[in-house]
Structure 1
Amino acid sequence: MKTKLLGRTGISVSQLCFGTMSFGGDADEATSASMYKAVRDAGINFFDTANEYSKGKSEEILGRLTKDHRDDLVITTKCFNATGPDVNARGANRRHVVQAVEASLRRLQTDRIDVLFLHRFDPVTPIDEMMRALEDLVRSGKVIYPAVSNWSAWQTQRAVDIQERHNWARLQVVQPMYNLVKRQAEVEILPMAAANGIGVIPYSPAAAGLLSGKYLGQASGRLKTNKMYEARYGEAWAFEVAEKYVAFCKEKGLHPVSAAIAWVGAHPAITAPIVGARNLDQLKDSLASVKIDMTPELYREIADLSRTPPPATDRLEEQKVAKG
């Protein structure tokens, strides 16, 4: 397992980040522990969770698994989504963020969060207020590096500009969705991150299993029954891309999940794709991604199987000229 520098932090993280969304949900405590051991044995030192995953159980299980060697790890968590029925138990306002961090610290059994993501953009809280919340937590020592997830490029750049103007701790990591059928991040998010020296740890590199091929030709499965995934990946063209991609991998002798993750990780702006699993069998294919030699030629061949998003200016003629 290779390592990469995380943004401009100066710290090194494994080329894969292990996401623990399944802990306490699809994976019980014993299965979670077995997967944790497997990824540690593979050389992963980078872990991602969130306060909402399994209603806090993900953080609790991760905390129990890591407490004896906490200093060897880089742990991220997130806050924003509702954590209770109260009208104020949500959002990225200072009040909720401080409360959420205190609760996450207890569940993780740690005295600091290495990377704290604001899980969503809060449309009712000004960006400077959100960044001040992160700054207060950095100054208190409870958070080391501020970060955002699911923010647009302009929102992130605006936040960085505010932080630099006030000499506050800068955003060091972003977490967008990114995979072969969800390539919008290529247009502005990834160039913005590269220009600012911000680390990128994208989620869903295998498109929630779509790129594994297991959902092709099926009338059921979570891409059909889960409303979030159906909205995200339910369009016919996404399945057409997946079908072409799986056939390509079969022809090349590649496992489609391993190759999908390796393709995401090969983008020069990407620090570490987030890989997750419900069991050890699923996990092994994700870990095998580091063994794939993603040459520039193979990278282009895979990219050509899907839609390239239009440039930010929507001047498609310039994109075609650049390719030609």
Structure 2
Amino acid sequence: MKQVNIPGLERGCTQLVMGSMMLSDERMEYSAGLLDAYVGIGGNTIDTAHVYGPNGARAIGIWMRERGNRASLVLIGKGAHHDENGPRVTQEAMERDLEETFERMQTDDVDIFMLHRDDPAKPVGYIVEALNAQLEAGRCRALGASNWTAERIQEANDYAAAHGLTGFACNSPNLSLAKPNEPRWPGCVSVDDDCAAWHERTQLPLLSWSSQAGGFFTGRFAPERRDNAEAVRVYYSDANWERLRRASALAARKGVDANQIALAFVLHQPFPTCALIGPNETSELLSSAGALDVKLTLAEMRWLDLKDAELRGE
């Protein structure tokens, strides 16, 4: 599987990143089976977050211990998510969340530590220095931002460069072919045209969450079906139904399915991208893996994203 280089890491992240919210130490046969299947298709990167709770992280820890494969993996740990009292982007919260993550996963470090949310009220200098303390302590090897705006990441990286510190090596917002009407969860950030242009200029790697838009392209949804309130709120729009129509038409030409076209869209950006996936079954994992073989031209990318009314070159 193709890998994306993240500065600070000895190995690249595979383009498909395994999510962990569906894993549980209370269902180890199921969880280990999914993780084994992921490694079996060439995957090496697993996304975790402190706010997801202990069960998935514990399952990963048990699996790594039994397989003896920690050294071959890239572990992402996210921390400092807001709680019921508001923002907690502090050095104390970072360290507490990391320590609990290590305990859950039976490891001494994560490869990438991401801040799960931003606190715009905090100066970037304080945040960058707090993150560098984690690097210096050996708790992680690279830093990432999740649900930060491109402007704040640039500000943080400018501060790091000016002060001889390490900045963010990757960004993890939402990027998908279906564009959300509003944030799926409070405080979430999705890629818009300005953010995409910034990534193209900087070539900062992007690890997209909800890269398959919550299954919007699987055939489970239709304009008249409104039983899934979250999908209706976030993804139901005339523009997204047209994107689905175009993805389905292109999929028929290429002998794949619309969901694979949508995932390929994320992986064909003009900057390094990885896609976080959350398969509930091995069959879903293998279906997502099929997107790795789908080739999209620039004309097809623009047409899928409604940038052009007609598919040029046809």
Distance 1:248 1:193, change over 3 A: closer
Alpha-carbon shift at residue 142 of structure 1 (Å): 0.6
Matches within 5 A, 1:121-200: 121-182=118-179, 185=191, 187-200=193-206
Q: Is the 8 Å Cα contact of residues 148 and 175 (structure 1) preserved in structure 2? A: yes
1:211 and 2:217 aligned: yes
Q: Is the 8 Å Cα contact of residues 6 and 271 (structure 1) preserved in structure 2? A: no
Q: Is the 8 Å Cα contact of residues 7 and 197 (structure 1) preserved in structure 2? A: no
Structure 1 distance, partners of 2:82, 2:150, is 24
Structure 2 distance, partners of 1:170, 1:143, is 13
Structure 1 range deviating more: 264-273 or 146-155: 264-273
1:268 and 2:270 aligned: yes
Secondary structure in 1 aligned to 2:130? Answer: helix
User: Which consecutive residues of structure 2, in runs of 5 or more, have no partner in the other structure?
Assistant: 181-189, 309-314
Structure 2 distance, partners of 1:4, 1:127, is 26
* Two-structure CA RMSD over aligned residues (Å): 2.5
Give TM-score, length-normalised by structure 1.
Answer: 0.83
Alpha-carbon shift at residue 225 of structure 1 (Å): 2.7
Q: Is the 8 Å Cα contact of residues 5 and 271 (structure 1) preserved in structure 2? A: no
Provide Cα deviations, 1:36-64, integer angstroms capped at 9, x if missing partner. Answer: 011111111111111122x2222121122
Structure 2 distance, partners of 1:201, 1:233, is 20
Structure 1 distance, partners of 2:100, 2:124, is 23
Structure 2 distance, partners of 1:65, 1:210, is 31
Secondary structure in 1 aligned to 2:111? Answer: strand
Structure 1 range deviating more: 278-287 or 38-47: 278-287
Matches within 5 A, 1:1-324: 1-7=1-7, 9=9, 11-24=11-24, 28-53=27-52, 55-67=53-65, 68-82=68-82, 87=85, 91-182=88-179, 185=191, 187-217=193-223, 219-221=225-227, 224-226=228-230, 229-292=231-294, 294-296=295-297, 299-308=298-307
Structure 1 distance, partners of 2:145, 2:7, is 13
Alpha-carbon shift at residue 104 of structure 1 (Å): 0.9
Distance 1:56 1:163, change over 3 A: same
Structure 1 distance, partners of 2:113, 2:135, is 10
Alpha-carbon shift at residue 208 of structure 1 (Å): 0.9
Give TM-score, length-normalised by structure 2.
Answer: 0.85
Distance 1:268 1:305, change over 3 A: closer
Q: Is the 8 Å Cα contact of residues 7 and 198 (structure 1) preserved in structure 2? A: no
Structure 2 distance, partners of 1:51, 1:218, is 37
Provide Cα deviations, 1:226-268, integer angstroms capped at 9, x if missing partner. Answer: 3xx4432133432332233224323442212222212211113
Alpha-carbon shift at residue 218 of structure 1 (Å): 5.2
Structure 2 distance, partners of 1:198, 1:302, is 20
Q: Is the 8 Å Cα contact of residues 51 and 79 (structure 2) preserved in structure 1? A: yes
Q: Is the 8 Å Cα contact of residues 98 and 133 (structure 1) preserved in structure 2? A: no
Q: Is the 8 Å Cα contact of residues 76 and 113 (structure 1) preserved in structure 2? A: yes
Distance 1:161 1:231, change over 3 A: farther
Secondary structure in 2 aligned to 1:201? Answer: strand
Same amino acid, percent of matched pairs: 22
Provide Cα deviations, 1:197-223, integer angstroms capped at 9, x if missing partner. Answer: 4221112222111022221245245xx
Aligned residues: 297
Q: Is the 8 Å Cα contact of residues 7 and 142 (structure 2) preserved in structure 1? A: no
Kindly provide the amino acid, as one letter, of the partner of residue 137 in structure 2.
S
Q: Is the 8 Å Cα contact of residues 82 and 117 (structure 2) preserved in structure 1? A: no
